[in-house]
Amino acid sequence: VLARSASAVRLPSQVMLSRSRFPAQALARGFASTAARRSPPFVGPEGPWASGHRWWAAGLAAAGVAVLASQAGSRKSLDCEAKPLLVCGSLNADIIIEISRFPKKGETLGTRSPDTGIMVPGGKGANQAVAAARLSGSSRKAEFVCQFGNDSHAGKLEKVLVDNGVEIKGSGRADKPSGQAFIFLEEDGSNSILIVGGSNVAWPKEVTSFARQIRSASAVLLQREIPEYINEAVAQVAFEAGVPVIQDVGGEERSFSDAQLRRLTYICPNETELERLTGMPTDSKEKVVAAARTLQKKGVKNVLCTLGSDGAVLITADGKVLKQGCCPVPGGKVVDTTGAGDCFRSAFAVALVEGRPLQECLKFAAAAGAITVSRLGAVPSLPSRDETEALAKSS
């Protein structure tokens, strides 16, 4: 009844304005005043219409508030619809080989476990995409653009991505086998990795097929296991669209052009990579900060450097230095460090696009990384949002 009554009343112009610009109270007053003018004549305190008049006007006012609240809620849901987090990068079939030590020249050794050598999904790009999907929960989509291979690994890798809620609509198919990573895992959880590029090096010449995804992203994550011309092209599109670019330095060892550095919102090396990029020592946090500032002089806005067991340090565009220690590893034992850096950077990106304070972003990332090293494998070890939030709060 109220809805029919409200729709039957023609709103004056000032009330129509209140719907678009003024608070809900203004609309309520408008409904009430309109109702008062258009209701039946007031007969007197004891008249049959007196009570009805008051209730009718109040009902219309309430209906007005309800209508406005409904419309405001709809607008809010549209305005707050989260833009996807886009990862452009590599996808590998990781072959994990558990060893006690590396063989010497001419020596043959057995593996530490007879059941090792299994294939698990990996690749820096895939790790970050799956981490983004798990850490964002249902609030934000994670999109991944990669190049699938033409072998039996490709279907398995694609299924893992889809099963984890990663959107792969911009990805291509290469006439090459899938990329592979041979991960030599030692007893203390440290690893050494050999990478076979495969389909990861067979990208198209241009990024026009997924340029729209770049422009509509909340942020773009890049790594260095795909051709540099792709990273540069993606960063350029993002830069022109005002989309933050987060560049992981890990992957193939190569230099950055000055133009690419200027496009980067965040560059994310570890201390060894930072030393290689700058030619400066990074064996203390003070030296890390000094080296990071040389990158900022070349145009990089923010430098996020991971320091292994010493945590991480963020040097911001406005000169602040934020430090973050490691969170405790669940179970107290490091099982496998593969993918931990990828997860850390993806978690930082997730928190960043959610608008959290930078220190909170760092803590969320540290918690995600700590959970990752407590499990075997890259993609299989990546944590959920709930367990990451729980560890961050308890640390």
Tokens 């090396």, located at residue:
269
Interatomic CA distance for residues 225 and 160, integer angstroms? 20
Interatomic CA distance for residues 90 and 243, integer angstroms? 21
Q: Which of 94, 248, 336, 342 is catalytic?
A: 342
Chain-centroid distance of CA 188 in Å reads 30
Q: Is 318 a catalytic residue?
A: no
3-state SS, one letter per residue, for 70-120:
HHHHHHHHHHCCCCCEEEECCCEEEEEEECCCCCCCCCCCCCCCCCCCCEE
The set of residues, in sequence order, having a beta carbon less than 8 Å from that of 258 and lying 6+ positions away, is: 298, 299
Element (H, E) at 246: strand 245-251
Interatomic CA distance for residues 274 and 47, integer angstroms? 86
Burial state string for 25-49 with b = 16 or more CB within 10 A and e = fewer than 16: ebbbbbbbbbbeeebeeeeeeeeee
Alpha helices in the chain (DSSP H): 2-8, 13-21, 24-38, 50-79, 124-136, 152-163, 211-215, 228-241, 258-263, 271-278, 285-297, 340-353, 358-372, 385-394
Could you give phi then psi for residue 219, rounded to 5 degrees? -165, 160
Q: C-alpha angle 93/266/312, rounded to 5°?
A: 80
- Tell me the sheet residues that pair with 122: 92
Total count of residues recorded for the chain: 395
Interatomic CA distance for residues 212 and 237, integer angstroms? 9
If you ran DSSP here, which 8-state letter would residue 229 be given? Answer: H
Other Cβ atoms closer than 10 A to 66: 15
Q: Which residues are catalytic?
A: 342
